[in-house]
């Protein structure tokens, strides 16, 4: 089954341009902020709390100027997204849903957009809503999309909870004084 672009709302062209501009501004801020801040912070009109906050931001972003660390972070991010995309594809296959990579990617992107606010513990509501929202344009019934969402949520949530609990139980205990 193919996704028809006629069923999706049109995305305004200015949104892509705005995203590119904001990304460029972020890169400029990351690259030039230490030098600019060293010159700017010497002025007397900068309140102390603002100065400390910006100092902290500049110092914590220093690793972004090290190409090896940035490349490692990008590779890890890419691998994580590939695993999550593959999880969606495998779950489609196991449930007999005839969707491909586009649907798997749309589920991934919309679920993460929905989880950005972190509205509730476990993100149950946003996770289920955005998973269903991403599958319905492909022709899946709402009940099937909900079933998919519940199973996907169990797959991505339960193993870390179980392994984390086991890890906490078997780790060596340290005394605090």
- Does the residue 175 lie in any domain? no
Where the chain has pLDDT below 70, the residues are 1-13, 118-123, 175-177
Taking the whole predicted model, whether its pTM rises above 0.75 is answered as no
What does the pLDDT look like over 87-133, one tens digit per residue?
999 999 998 999 998 899 989 988 888 877 765 666 677 888 888 88
Token pair, residue 148, equals 């998919």
Domain identity same for 80 and 30? no
- Does the residue 177 lie in any domain? no
Distance of alpha carbon 166 from alpha carbon 145, whole angstroms: 32
- Helices 101-115 and 67-94 cross at an angle (nearest 10°) of 120
Last residue of a domain, one of 38, 65, 92: 65
Hunting for tokens 């995309």 — which residue is that? Answer: 85
Domain identity same for 143 and 105? yes
Report how many domains make up the chain. 2
Domain identity same for 34 and 78? no
Domain identity same for 61 and 72? no
Token pair, residue 172, equals 């060596």
Last residue of a domain, one of 17, 32, 65: 65
Domain span including residue 9: 1-65
């Amino acid at each position: 089954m193919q996704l028809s672009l006629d069923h999706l709302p049109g995305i305004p062209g200015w949104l892509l341009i705005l995203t590119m501009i904001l990304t460029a501004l972020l890169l400029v801020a990351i690259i030039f902020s230490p030098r600019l801040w060293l010159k700017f912070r010497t002025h007397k009109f900068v309140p102390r709390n603002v100065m400390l906050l910006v100092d902290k931001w500049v110092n914590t972003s220093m690793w972004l100027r090290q190409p090896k660390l940035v490349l490692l972070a990008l590779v890890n991010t890419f691998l994580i997204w590939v695993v999550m995309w593959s999880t969606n594809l495998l779950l489609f296959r196991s449930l007999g849903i005839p969707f491909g990579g586009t649907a798997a990617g749309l589920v991934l992107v919309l679920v993460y957009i929905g989880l950005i606010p972190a509205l509730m513990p476990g993100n149950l509501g946003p996770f289920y809503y955005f998973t269903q929202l991403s599958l319905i344009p492909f022709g899946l019934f709402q009940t099937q999309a909900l079933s998919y969402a519940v199973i996907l949520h169990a797959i991505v949530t339960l193993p870390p909870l179980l392994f984390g609990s086991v890890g906490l139980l078997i780790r060596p205990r340290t005394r605090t004084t």
